Amino acid sequence: MTAQFMSVRGAAEYLNVSVSWIYRNAARSGLAPYRFGSGINAKIRFKMSEVEAWTKQQRIP
């Protein structure tokens, strides 16, 4: 089974937040980004299973 990744825009749409929020707050909030490539051509992606797990952790009891 291969890991499925989503783009920054895809993660923002899934979480219903802005792309700028993702860049500013995702790593600080515990949502780990993955970088593919280096320099200006690097792509930031998020593992779908981790995004889903992160959303479940954010639930307020």
Instruction: For 34-57, write each residue's pLDDT tens digit.
Output: 999 999 999 999 999 999 999 999
pLDDT digits (tens, 9 = 90+) for 13-31: 999 999 999 999 998 999 9
Q: pTM to 2 decimals? A: 0.84
pLDDT at 1: 63
- Identify any residues that bridge with 6 across adjacent strands, giving them in sequence order: 46
Tell me the CA distances in angstroms from 50 to 8, 40, 41, one per residue in order: 14, 25, 24
Return the number of other C-beta atoms located less than 10 Å from residue 26's C-beta.
Answer: 21
Predicted confidence (pLDDT) at residue 2 exceeds the cutoff of 80:
no
